[in-house]
Structures are given as structure tokens and as C-alpha cells.
Amino acid sequence: MSETTTTPYAKPLPDLRPEDKPFWEALREHRFVLPADADGKPFWYPRARVPGTLEPVSRWIEASGLGTVYTYSIHTFGPTKAYKGDPPYPVALVDLDEGPRMMTNLVRDEEGYPSLAPEDVRIGMRVRIVFHDVTDEITLPKFTPAD
């Protein structure tokens, strides 16, 4: 019987805060939710207060996880040594079908890795969410081509 060893996730992890707890819990369950105002209009990024009103966030809506690449950049070096070997990789602004615009990584497969090749990215391309389980507590939302 052989043992499988996995390399621990070495990149920076998000700070979990009470106000965005529903977002991270949903991602762990491979669901995508967005905070919304009292009328049900979603916004990005998860935070304690609704933009423009400063009312506390009290609603979270199930989102489709579908969107369109608004724009992107190709990163040729990572922000820290943890990203050594990753570049070049695309980082995109995605217009979610529900309305908000979200910054995200574009990846090739369901596991959230490796990055999509720069030549495969296009403004206007349709994308869908994939759930990258990086630790027992953290699942990161990334996007892959929808077709």
C-alpha cells in the first residue's frame, strides 16, 4: 500500500472575518453566494455594510457562478516567493451574471489549477466558477471557461 503525500498550500490565505463568514462557509460547501442589499441587489465584495447605505448586510443570495471577462492582465511575476513557478498567469475582472464585478484568477480545470494559458483568455469570454479547496477551512473561488 502506497502513501500519497500532498504539498501544503503555500500561498497567502484570506483573513476570515465575522462579516464574510456566510461567503466562506458557502464556498466550503461548493456554493457561491453574494451579499445583497434589502432589495436583493447583490454586490461585491463581502463586507459588513451595504455600499451607499451603510445598512448592515442581512441577506445573502445564491449566485449562478457564471460571468463574462470584462478585462484581464497577465502577471509575469508573483507578488511573493510563494508564486514562484506560477507566472505567467491571468487575473481577470469578471462581470457576474448577477451584476457585480469580481477580480479573480482564471484556471484550466475543476481543481482550480493550473492557470489558464495567457493565449486562451479573451475579453468577453464566458466563464464559470470552480471551487479550489486549498485547506480544510478555505475554498477559493476561481473561474474557468464556461464551454
The domain ranges of the chain are 18-145
Q: Are strands 139-145 and 126-133 parallel, antiparallel or unpaired?
A: antiparallel
Taking the C-alpha atoms of residue 112 and residue 133, their distance in angstroms, rounded to an integer, is 8
pLDDT in tens, 3-55: 444 567 888 899 999 999 999 999 999 999 999 999 999 999 999 999 999 89
Taking the C-alpha atoms of residue 2 and residue 25, their distance in angstroms, rounded to an integer, is 33
Q: Are strands 33-36 and 101-105 parallel, antiparallel or unpaired?
A: unpaired
Domain spanning 18-145 has what CATH number?
Answer: 2.40.50.840
For residue 1, what pLDDT band results from cuts at 50, 70 and 90? very low
